[in-house]
Structure 1
Amino acid sequence: MKIGYRTIKTAIGTPIAVSIAQLLGLTNFVSAGILTILCIQPSRKRSFVTAWDRFLACVIASIYSIFFFELLGNNPFALGVMLIVFIPTTVYLNITAGITTSSVIILNLYSASSNHSSFLFDQFLLIIIGIGTALLLNLYMPSLDNAFENQQKKLEDNFQEVLYQISVYIRNNDQEWDGKEIIESEEILSKATNLVERDLENHLLRNKHTYRDYFHMRSRQLEHLKAMLPLASELESSDSLSEKIADFFEKLSKNVYPENTAIIFLNELKDLKKSFNQEELPTTRKEFETRANLFQLLHEVEDYIKIKQKYKKTDVNLVKRHEKSKQ
């Protein structure tokens, strides 16, 4: 069982908040721990925004509680009337995130026999301690680099498999591949996008994110991979060009990585397109449909590669130097 960092923060922050409140001799000191639990957030930005919302909501809740409980008494009717006014106020001020935390203060004031200034001051300190402890803990956010790298690796492995299976289908016109990598890739992209947004919220001064561009690029490429599958599945026969195109897809499947070597494959595509003009025209309907599907496949894979070319500058020289160093 994996313990998340929010659980660890909660386990650390709650006893700290309770201890501080208890040390200061505050009434309802356990409420500081409850407030801390409610205020632990998954990102720095959300933490700062909700901290202010919760603090403001608690202050308004205290004012409303004093007014309604003094006017109508500490009874369920007064509590209900107060909430009828308080909740729409938080909606109007767009601070609904503070409803849960402020309910702690409301119930403390409700259970008090009288709302003396010393008790109100205690509640104010509880708000500061509870929300403040959570805010300080939320300043630490673990790096998501390993998570991004794992998602990237899984995604590229899936892309490799899809491209390879297309090459197999072009050669054999039949296979038992279930296409699960397509579904997995969609799930990875969805998860990765959420991670990117969370990481951006952890860096308040950052507007750009390398992985956001990367996963956006892969998302667009995935659409082209999905468009290639029905074209490959409709191939009922092979001709002289099929083997060349199958070789191209197989080679492309072995070169799915973050670096940009698109120019190499675009040049190879040009040669493949020239091969179409040099071949004899198809003589049967089946041959014509095969040739048309193969040609459409080349258009789809060309668009797939061009997306990578637009994503970043070429890394051809870098990759070549890396390959030489391995030799």
Structure 2
Amino acid sequence: MFRIGYRTLKTAVGAAFAIFIAQLFELQFYSSAGILVILCVQNTKKKSLEVSLQRFGACLLAMLFSFVIFEILGYHPLAVGILLLLYIPTAVMLRVPEGIVTSSVIVMHLYSLESITWHAIRNEISILTIGIGIALLINLYMPSAERELERMRDEVESHFKIILTEMAAYLRDRERQWNGQELITTASVLKDARDLAFKKLENHFVREDSYYYRYFNMRLRQFEILERVMPLVASLSWTYEQAEMIADFIENVAHAIRPESTGLISLHLLHEMREQFREMPLPQTREEFETRAMLHQLVNEMEQYLLIKSEFQGKNMKYQMSQKGA
């Protein structure tokens, strides 16, 4: 399906405007200003600034190499080969590899002029300034990802509730049927959400609250526990008194899921349940022993799940501490 993205639109407008400005100042090789815009517009502000600085520095270095080598060896194809042979490793060593392609264009400009004068240097620096400046200017505005991140957060929490509820239901009824679609969907949403949250961070030059990035990392760690727990729950083949208690507890955790929760109340309930387990009679058969061992492992995994949430620092910790849940 044909679609024009926001970045594509910015790039097209920026390239046209940069060429117009360069032509207005009657610069030689004015079309290169448009090429610079195309190369410097990135997905995030930080990436765009980083790439732009690399290109500018690399181009200044290329002009220095061009002056030395062309003045010594002359304006011959062999001189271009030797220049690139020396320049490219130097650019990589100085950690400006993003600027190699742009620098090569500058080198070709100077080569075609067959003379490096102050006028030529000013011309190239002007093109660099216009192209990179326009790219940075149009990249100042990035569409807000807040609403999409909130939607993804709600979707993840909704899926977590379904997964935990289905887990509790299976502990009560071994005939329970569930296709597990939420497990597949949640894995995909968590990956996309974390990438988007990181992109949001990269679009701020000043210190930005990393709430969403930390939040989705936290949920990803919890999801890994849920993936480990599912085969454990599936392996339980018969009803046991403790299984009903754990099912009630997991259902309670599912109902308490929300952004501002801390998991502390659920942890308290888990510790109380453990104390009740200790007061129960010891298993009498091998099958009872194996089942109780698996249930004990399940409780340990759920404890880790809740500890991950209790360690998470949200937007307003004072408010969070007054809440309960997971």
TM-score per shorter chain, which class?
Answer: 0.7 to 0.9
Q: 67-76 or 245-254, which moves further after superposition? A: 67-76
1:236–1:286 contact (8 Å) kept in structure 2 = no
For 1:100-144, what per-residue CA distance to the aligned partner results, in whole angstroms no more than 9, with x for missing partners?
221221222233354444333222211111111112222222222
Q: 311-320 or 110-119, which moves further after superposition? A: 311-320
Equivalence map 1:110-149=2 (5 Å) = 110-149=111-150
Q: 167-176 or 93-102, which moves further after superposition? A: 167-176
List runs of 5+ in structure 1 lacking aligned partners: 321-327
Matched residue type, 1:127 = L
Using a 3 Å threshold, how does the CA distance of structure 1 residues 89 and 315 change in structure 2: closer, same or farther? closer
Matched residue type, 1:5 = Y
Q: How far did residue 317 of structure 1 move?
A: 4.8
Q: For residues 29 and 93 of structure 1, what CA distance do their matches in structure 2 show?
A: 28
CA RMSD of aligned residues (A): 2.6
Residue of structure 1 in register with 2:238 after alignment: 237
Q: How far did residue 2 of structure 1 move?
A: 5.0
Query: What percentage of residue pairs aligned between the two structures are identical?
Result: 41
Q: For residues 7 and 213 of structure 1, what CA distance do their matches in structure 2 show?
A: 30
- Give the TM-score, by structure 1 length: 0.86
Q: For residues 50 and 73 of structure 2, what CA distance do their matches in structure 1 show?
A: 34
Using a 3 Å threshold, how does the CA distance of structure 1 residues 319 and 293 change in structure 2: closer, same or farther? closer
Residue of structure 1 in register with 2:61 after alignment: 60
For 1:50-98, what per-residue CA distance to the aligned partner results, in whole angstroms no more than 9, with x for missing partners?
2222111111212222333344344332211110111112122211111
Q: For residues 199 and 42 of structure 1, what CA distance do their matches in structure 2 show?
A: 10
Residue of structure 2 in register with 1:84 after alignment: 85
Residue of structure 2 in register with 1:219 after alignment: 220
SS class of match (2:251): helix
Residue of structure 2 in register with 1:11 after alignment: 12
Q: How far did residue 207 of structure 1 move?
A: 5.8
Matched residue type, 1:206 = R
1:237–1:286 contact (8 Å) kept in structure 2 = no
Q: For residues 144 and 106 of structure 1, what CA distance do their matches in structure 2 show?
A: 40
Q: 22-31 or 259-268, which moves further after superposition? A: 259-268
Matched residue type, 1:203 = H
1:35–1:104 contact (8 Å) kept in structure 2 = no
Q: How far did residue 35 of structure 1 move?
A: 0.9
For 1:198-221, what per-residue CA distance to the aligned partner results, in whole angstroms no more than 9, with x for missing partners?
322322221641123322322332
List runs of 5+ in structure 2 lacking aligned partners: none
Residue of structure 2 in register with 1:325 after alignment: none
Q: 84-93 or 58-67, which moves further after superposition? A: 58-67
**Residue 247 (structure 2) pairs with residue 246 (structure 1):** yes
Q: 138-147 or 106-115, which moves further after superposition? A: 106-115
Using a 3 Å threshold, how does the CA distance of structure 1 residues 9 and 291 change in structure 2: closer, same or farther? same
Q: 237-246 or 80-89, which moves further after superposition? A: 237-246
Q: For residues 267 and 75 of structure 1, what CA distance do their matches in structure 2 show?
A: 79
